[in-house]
Structure 1
């Protein structure tokens, strides 16, 4: 699968852009703030129906404009498919495939997979459990529609249960029967989510370890463990035991929404003991494992988006990543503020690439390939 064409209107700093890409390596060069990352975000949005960096669609509309539109033409197995995403201020998002609107955006997830590696990904190690849950949920959701539906049902029931708990606090009288109706939903779909997360972690771990060892070039012991309260206690028991506590806290204090993924290096916590280089290598290995797992399930390679990746790695890790680019990966998009560096790196592995100059929202193809 690859992205053949991309058209933007009023998306972030792009008033209008029309670009045709190579099915292999595409390099976006330009100064910081020119719009390179925004271009990757537009591609990401066509895959996941939402931005990777903005918390709301409204934040993606160009300042002073009433709407944005992203249109892309993808090639899958020799057949072209056109996707379109459009948001107008004050109205519902429109998302179309081949001119037909999706009734549920969730139906689109996983059909045109991309993997994004960005500088802030190291926050997967450093931030709270929520970031790690979202990472793994996004992968599983691309592979398993039942899981995605269960996750959406769980989050909706959790939101409603927490609202009910706040109402109890205001009234001073809990309605246990009303609470039970939401508990039953959480229990039913929560068990499914727990089981799928557990099995996926077992599938993911050996693939991740393979890439980590490849990138660091050393026999370092790494581990990734799925941690859940449901390992030691049934969902029913946990919810009932914590009811009074939930009323006092005004939120649900037991369940799979509190799950975490523990990252270890050697015998300790990666966040505390790992160097910056080890943490970066760990995160890149996570993303490359995501790439392989999705490829296995879909039967084709996802699009790989590398945002400013060479600026964050040492020469050894760059060399290992370049080896993968040459042999294992499909369509790539690489951003870099230093075109000379990217050109030299790609020439070193004799990989032809199409170069685009990005300047304040304008995208211009550069005539010659960096490998020539």
Structure 2
């Protein structure tokens, strides 16, 4: 699978742009704030119906304009697919495949798999467990449409149970029968999600270890550990045992919405004991493992978006990374960097051609 071209109208800082891409490596170079990352985000939009950085669609519309449009042609299993996304202010987002609008956006997820590596990913390490659960859910959802449906169902049941707990706190009366029904619904959905997450980590962790070892020459010992309360107890027993605490706090305190993915280096928390370079290498290995996982379970190569990844990596790790993604079974790649000469030098050194685009103040020119 590869993206042949993209057209932007009033998207972020772009009034308009129309670009055609190479099947292999495409690089956007220019100063900070020029709009390089916005081009990657437009590609992300076409693949996953949303921005990688900002969940509010209306904020993607260029200042003083009333709409945005992003459109692209993909070659997917030797068939042309035209994808378009448009939004007018105060209206519903329109998302179309081959000029036909989707009934629900979830039907698009996974058709055009993509992996983004960005400085923004540091949130995976530094922020709370919700970021790491979102990472797991994003990867699985691109390979298993039923998983995304189950997540939506679980969150609906969780909302209903939390509403009941708030009602109980206000009225001092507990409808035991209703609580039992809500618990059964939560357990049924939660168990399915737990099993899928558990199997995902079984498949994912060896891929992560392989990529981290390659990038770092096996310099450090790192690990991923999936923590879930359901590893220790049945979900129904957890809910029964925490009902008094739940009533006191007016929310459900046990379940798969509390799952965690632990990152360690030398058996210590990566957040506290990893250097900036080590943290960045960890994140890159995590995302390359995501790429390998998607390729394995989709049967074709996703797009790879690399945003400003040369920063905080030494030359050896940059070389190993570019060697890996250019020669080792990767498909179409999009890179941003502030240093044109660095990009050209890196790819010349590993004998890989790169299609270069100069970006300046929301204007893109093929170099």
Displacement after TM superposition at 1:66 (Å): 1.9
Deviations 1:195-223 (A, max 9, x none): 11111111111111011111111253322
Displacement after TM superposition at 1:21 (Å): 1.0
1:110 aligned counterpart, secondary structure: coil
2:311 aligned counterpart, secondary structure: helix
CA contact (8 A) 1:28 1:356 kept: yes
Displacement after TM superposition at 1:357 (Å): 1.2
Deviations 1:250-289 (A, max 9, x none): 2110100000011122222222222222111111110111
- Could you say which residue in structure 1 is the equivalent of 2:182? 182
The correspondence of residues 288-367 of structure 1 with structure 2, limited to 5 A, is: 288-328=288-328, 329-366=330-367
- Could you say which residue in structure 2 is the equivalent of 1:9? 9
CA contact (8 A) 1:74 1:80 kept: yes
- Could you say which residue in structure 2 is the equivalent of 1:264? 264
Distance in 1, matches of 2:90 and 2:326, equals 46
Distance in 1, matches of 2:45 and 2:27, equals 19
Structure 2: runs of 5+ lacking an equivalent: none
- Could you say which residue in structure 1 is the equivalent of 2:164? 164
- Could you say which residue in structure 2 is the equivalent of 1:123? 123
Displacement after TM superposition at 1:170 (Å): 2.6
The correspondence of residues 59-138 of structure 1 with structure 2, limited to 5 A, is: 59-138=59-138
- Could you say which residue in structure 2 is the equivalent of 1:239? 239
Structure 1: runs of 5+ lacking an equivalent: 367-372
Displacement after TM superposition at 1:156 (Å): 1.8
1:204 aligned counterpart, secondary structure: helix
Displacement after TM superposition at 1:7 (Å): 0.8
Displacement after TM superposition at 1:48 (Å): 1.0
Distance in 2, matches of 1:338 and 1:214, equals 25
Deviations 1:10-57 (A, max 9, x none): 111112111111111111011111111011001011111111001211
- Could you say which residue in structure 2 is the equivalent of 1:193? 193
Distance in 1, matches of 2:174 and 2:315, equals 61
1:226 aligned counterpart, secondary structure: strand
Distance in 2, matches of 1:256 and 1:112, equals 28
CA contact (8 A) 2:25 2:332 kept: yes
1:28 aligned counterpart, secondary structure: strand
- Could you say which residue in structure 2 is the equivalent of 1:369? none
Distance in 1, matches of 2:351 and 2:94, equals 42
State the superposition RMSD in angstroms: 1.3
| Worse overlay, 211-220 or 305-314 | 211-220
- Could you say which residue in structure 2 is the equivalent of 1:370? none
Distance in 2, matches of 1:185 and 1:65, equals 45
Distance in 2, matches of 1:36 and 1:223, equals 33
Q: Tell me which stretches of 4 or more aligned residues in structure 1 moved more than 3 Å.
A: none
Normalised by the size of structure 2, how large is the TM-score?
Answer: 0.96
CA contact (8 A) 1:119 1:312 kept: no
- Could you say which residue in structure 1 is the equivalent of 2:224? 224
Cα 1:77–1:184, aligned 2, differ >3 Å: closer, same or farther? same
Distance in 2, matches of 1:89 and 1:145, equals 30
Displacement after TM superposition at 1:360 (Å): 1.5
Cα 1:161–1:50, aligned 2, differ >3 Å: closer, same or farther? same
Distance in 2, matches of 1:278 and 1:5, equals 35
1:80 aligned counterpart, secondary structure: strand
CA contact (8 A) 1:215 1:321 kept: yes
Are positions 1:283 and 2:283 aligned together?
yes
Deviations 1:65-113 (A, max 9, x none): 2221111110012211000111222222111101111111111111101
Question: How many matched pairs?
Answer: 366
2:142 aligned counterpart, secondary structure: helix
- Could you say which residue in structure 1 is the equivalent of 2:53? 53
- Could you say which residue in structure 2 is the equivalent of 1:208? 208
Distance in 2, matches of 1:159 and 1:10, equals 37
